[in-house]
Chain A
Amino acid sequence: MVNRRANRLRMVWAAVWVALLGCTPIADAADGHRVGFSSVIASGVPVSGMLASGGITDNSVSFPSWDKIFRALTLRDYNTRIVVIGATLLGAAAGVIGTFAYLRKRAMLGDALSHATLPGIAIAFMVVGHKNLGWLLFGAAVSGTLGVLAVIGMRRVSRIREDAAIGIVLSVFFGIGMVLFSIIQQMNTGGESGLQSFIYGKAAAMLHRDAMLIGGTAFAVIACCAVMFKEFRLVCFDQTFASSMGRPVFWIDVLMMGLVVLTTVTGLQAVGLIMIVALLIIPAAAARFWTDSLLLMTVIAGGIGAFSGWMGSVLSALLPRLPTGAIIVISTGVVFAFSMIFSPHRGVLAGVYRRWSLSHRVAHQNLLRALAECEEDLAAEVAIPIADVHAKRFWSRRHLDRLIARGSRLGLVSQIGPNTLKLTETGRRESRRILRNHRLWELYLIRYADIAPSHVDRDADEIEHVLAGDVVEELERELEQESTIPPSPHKADESRSKGVPA
């Protein structure tokens, strides 16, 4: 008795989770066989007919022939065509509406939403008694919406924060769904087998009507976003302004959330509820790297979503052993990683380059300023001993030599002997400009910020490199210093302390 119960429970477990993983269990849960992954592989294959060769024991991912690649890319096979078109449209719709969800900082709310659809699906099946796609999706939409409302409500009436509320809703709703599923499995009403597979990620086994449904939804979502673009933009960036313009912010928000629910629920079929959130977030986050304009971002995110959907479905048609939903998500991941690294403005490489070039410029300007100060000390435009320059700052001799080499390449300094160097005419002009900026800022700090003369050098050292032309002009006006280099405050300070008249 106990054994049977335990076994049955194990079956339920396996069935639910296997289904969750985006596969189709074929072993009948009732007959007590262990539902392992091997059986899943055999069943969770695309119907594209390419799988006939892949048996249970064959575990190698064989590279498809060019003929197959050609057929898949040109959508020759009917089933491949259906899957590819459905996945592409879904990706595009999710990318577009995901952009708004992402900007509204609701990305993870999508996760709570998709997990919360589970009890609705179970209840819809219990009530209707058979697998009716419309009713199941309706149930999913209702309980998903309830989940979102629960998150919002919890945040509003209690001290539970958003992140905890999302975690609570996704785990508890999911728990309710699993309890119901484990009961459905034992009621033996018939027709429940494959119920989970009907709901979770069977992109590879998409039927014509599923593709039609996804296509219709995708079209509706994109059209809605296009029509409401201005309103969505207002609500995303400035809610208060939107409401002061007389827009019904609340209802716009509801519409936006409704579109997210719609996309999620139709997408459940294709990618499964754990990974659908990836299609909402990742294309939007990747698109954000490329542009600052919302319109472009929406278009790019839609494009990335569509590309990933296309890529994922074609790849899994070619390599039938790969689960479609996972491949779609990994495709978005690759695009995201590429965007994050290579984007020209916000990318990691661009950031590294900016930092590198800034530190280069700073080091270069430091050399020039040191030279200008040396000339000032010597009170003549003569050759300067490198040792003097070295004494000006805390820098290693090797670093200094490198800087001098670069300076002479740029024609700003010329090395005379092994240990002396001289500023060229352009170098002198540039170095005086930098020295002047430094002194102006020092003076400004002393006069207006009441900073002790002994403390201004370091601050000015940082600022001098980023003083823009108009700021310098303003400093000149404020300090009444026209075109001369002010004397160093430190020298005056020292001489005063030594009792020498300045």
Chain B
Amino acid sequence: MEWDWAIDGWILFVGTLSACSCALLGNYLVLRRLSLMGDAISHAVLPGLAIAFLITSSRAAWPMFAGAVIVGVITALLTQVITRYGKVEHGAAMGVVFSILFAIGLVLIRQVADHVDLDPGCVLYGNIVQIALDAQFEDVPPAARNLACVFVLNILFVGLFYKELKISSFDPDLATTLGINATLMHYALMVMVAVTTVANFESVGSILVIAMLIVPAATAHLLTDRLGVMILLSQLIACFSAVTGHLLACYGPGWVGVDAVANTSAMMAVVVGFVLFVAIFLAPEQGLLAKWYHRMKLSSRIVRQDVLGLLYRWEEMNGESGRSMRRDEVLTVVGGGSLPTRALRKLLRQNEIVRMMDGRDVVYRLTDSGKLAASQLVGAHRLWESYLAKHFHLASDHLHEPANRMEHYITPELREELREQLTDPKHDPHGKSIPSEPM
């Protein structure tokens, strides 16, 4: 497929605009757990379009726009009414409202469609290519102009009410005490969603409006905890998906050997879905990979500390001059597998233990720095045991397990505090001595 800037340029422009305007509002929908409201509104505006047409008998843009927006807001209102007075769960109430409205819209549209050519492909479900073709006759396609207006409107809305939206999204009660009308903000947001949804029908179609409303914001939410950054990221993701989506739609089928052109806006939804898929795995803190890495790091630290504690107790029991612990004995206690082996190797590298030969057996001894680390760990363990015994009145055979888990998370400050609380004990409940802090 050859690339024609006069057409593809407009497609990129319109696609990006609609993706960005949806993604902007989507941030608040996702944060308020209202994602499905976008879904509901975009289905339910159908009867609004049909009724506007029935009343005005023309395809003029403004009445249709107004009709759709009004029905969109009615959807939000009806959902609220059914939730409150019918005591139906919010999601189900939304399903009830939008499917019935959609059905009514279908019936109406059937009556309307005979009078005048109300092409569902154009008016309801978008046709990004047609918009670009309009550009051949006019300088700027009207859809692009409308979308630009809506985008600017959305930016103004979010920019002017940034603080109000933020507070009422995260803490509606706080918003009320601060004198912000949270209900008003809710419906203002719903109006903006309806406006954006309707304006976007022409370019990306209703299901893909939902994709752009939810997916970029959800992806950005995986990447950051700050609202401002989240909004910026969602815009970047929306831009990227729009551009990549169109390129893939044009050339993607060719790469897999199919002579065809895929649907542009559908491909945008696929791309944004793929971005989310990648983010679920690769996000810096929320990602599966990052979580897995942190878990691995933690468990290997725990195993290393277990080895140090074990060697410390061994030397404490057998005395400085006694027999050193053999490798197979260490592994029996700590457990087999690759984790303890790697832990031993790392401890050797960090010079916390040394490896010696005792006859034909490999044995380990703590070095001075290893002894220091181990004494802190065992100190933490025994302090915690004393603390549990004193304040929770646990039996002495119930102390070891919780202390064994806690010891890895006790910081020097906490050790200090425990010592103060327990008036600097010398022995734990089992009678073992608690190593003192090094000076």
A-to-B contact residues, CB < 8 Å:
1-3, 5-6, 8-10, 12-14, 16-18, 21-22, 34-38, 40-41, 56-59, 61, 102, 105, 107-108, 110-111, 115, 154, 157-161, 163-164, 166-168, 170-172, 174-179, 181-183, 186-187, 274-275, 277-278, 281-282, 285, 288-289, 321-323, 325-327, 329-330, 332-333, 336, 340, 346, 348, 351
| B86 / chain A contacts, CB cutoff of 8 Å | 285, 289, 340, 346, 348
Q: Check B109 against A37 for contact (C-beta < 8 Å).
A: yes
- Whether a CB of chain A sits under 8 angstroms from the CB of B269 is yes
Find out whether the CB atom of A179 lies under 8 angstroms from the CB atom of B276.
no
Taking the complex as formed, is B236 at the interface, i.e. its CB lies under 8 A from any CB of chain A? no
Query: Lowest 5 CB-CB distances: which A-B pairs, in order?
Result: A175-B269, A172-B273, A37-B113, A278-B99, A171-B211
C-alpha gap A190/B96 in the complex (Å) = 39
The one of A2, A36, A171 that contacts B210, using a Cβ cutoff of 8 Å: A171
Q: Is the CB of B263 within 8 A of A12?
A: yes
With A and B bound together, what is the CA distance between A40 and B249 in angstroms?
Answer: 28
B310, CB-defined interface residue at 8 Å? no
Is the Cβ of A175 less than 8 Å from the Cβ of B273? yes
Contact for A285 among B92, B110, B262, CB less than 8 A: B92
User: Would you call B114 and A59 a contact (CB within 8 A)?
Assistant: yes
Query: Chain A's interface: helix, strand, loop or mixed, by majority?
Result: helix
Q: Distance in Å from the Cβ of B244 to the closest Cβ of chain A?
A: 13
Give the residues in chain A near B124, CB-CB below 8 Å: 17
Docked complex Cα distance between A105 and B39 (Å): 18
Shortest Cβ distance from B268 into A: residue: A175
The minimal Cβ–Cβ distance linking A69 to chain B, given in whole angstroms, is 19
Q: What are 24 inter-chain pairs, A to B, with CB distance below 8 A?
A: A2-B2, A6-B7, A10-B121, A10-B129, A10-B130, A14-B119, A21-B120, A56-B114, A59-B111, A107-B91, A107-B95, A158-B286, A159-B221, A160-B222, A163-B35, A168-B215, A171-B215, A176-B269, A183-B253, A187-B258, A277-B99, A327-B107, A330-B100, A332-B100
Q: How far is the CA of A243 from the CA of B61 in the complex (A)?
A: 58
- Other-chain contact of A157, B91, B119, B288 (Cβ < 8 Å): B288
Task: Chain A residues near B33: list those with CB within 8 A.
Answer: 161, 163-164
- Return the chain B residue nearest A115 by Cβ: B207
Interface size class of chain B, counting residues whose CB lies under 8 Å from the partner chain: 35 or more
Kindly identify which residue among B91, B107, B133, B214 contacts A168, using a CB–CB cutoff of 8 Å. Answer: B214
Closest chain-A Cβ to B311's Cβ sits at a distance in Å of: 38
B384 interface hit (Cβ, 8 Å): no
Question: Which residue, of A3, A22, A110, A183, has the highest number of chain B Cβ atoms within 10 A?
Answer: A183
User: Residue B302 at the A interface, CB < 8 A?
Assistant: no
Inter-chain contact total with CB atoms closer than 8 Å:
264
Does B106 sit within 8 A of A, measured CB to CB?
A: yes
CB distance from A111 to the nearest CB of B (A): 6
Complex CA distance for A329 and B102, rounded to whole angstroms: 9
B104 at the interface (CB under 8 A from A): yes
Does B190 count as interface, using CB distance less than 8 angstroms?
A: no
Q: Which of B85, B94, B99, B270 contacts A348 (CB 8 A)?
A: B85
A105 and B91 contacting across the interface, CB-CB below 8 Å: yes
Max chain B Cβ within 10 angstroms of own Cβ: one of A1, A12, A41, A277: A12
Nearest CB in chain B to that of A5: its residue: B261
Check if B43 sits within 8 Å of A178, measured CB to CB: no
Partner of B266 from the list A2, A115, A178 (CB cut-off 8 Å) is A178
| B126 surroundings in chain A (CB, below 8 A) | 13
Bound complex: CA A41 to CA B132 (Å) = 29
The answer to whether the Cβ of B333 comes within 8 Å of any Cβ in the partner chain is no
Could you tell me if B99 and A9 are in contact, using CB atoms closer than 8 angstroms?
no
Assuming A170-B210, A282-B96, A340-B85, is B121 touching A183 (CB within 8 A)?
no
Name the residue among B205, B207, B221 with the largest chain A CB count within 10 angstroms.
B207
Chain B hits for A281, CB < 8 A:
92, 95-96, 99
Within 8 A of A (CB), among B1-52: 1-2, 4, 7, 30, 33-36, 38-39, 43
- Tell which of A21, A158, A167, A326 has the most Cβ of chain B within 10 Å: A167
Residue of A nearest to B222 (CB): A158
Instruction: Please give me the residue from chain A that is nearest to B82 by CB atom.
Output: A340
Flag if A170 contacts B39 (CB, 8 Å).
Answer: yes
Indicate with 1 or 0, residue by residue over B281-321, a CB within 8 angstroms of chain A CB atoms: 00100101000000000000000000000000000000000
Contacts of B127 in A (CB 8 A): 9-10, 13
Q: How far is the CA of A348 from the CA of B83 in the complex (A)?
A: 12
Q: A10-B121, A105-B89, A321-B110 are in contact. Are A163 and B34 (CB under 8 A)?
A: yes
A163 contacts B99, C-beta separation under 8 Å:
no
Complex: A341 Cα to B111 Cα, angstroms: 29
Contact A176 B103 (CB under 8 A): no
Cβ-defined contact, A9 with B261, below 8 A: yes
* Chain B residue contacts of A102, Cβ below 8 A: 92
Say yes or no for B234: interface residue by CB 8 A criterion.
Answer: no
Is B347 an interface residue when CB atoms closer than 8 A count as contact?
no
B118 contacts partner chain A, Cβ-Cβ < 8 Å: yes
**Contact with B119, one of A8, A34, A321, A332 (Cβ below 8 angstroms):** A34
User: Chain B 342-385 against A: per-residue CB contact (8 Å), 1 yes, 0 no?
Assistant: 00000000000000000000000000000000000000000000
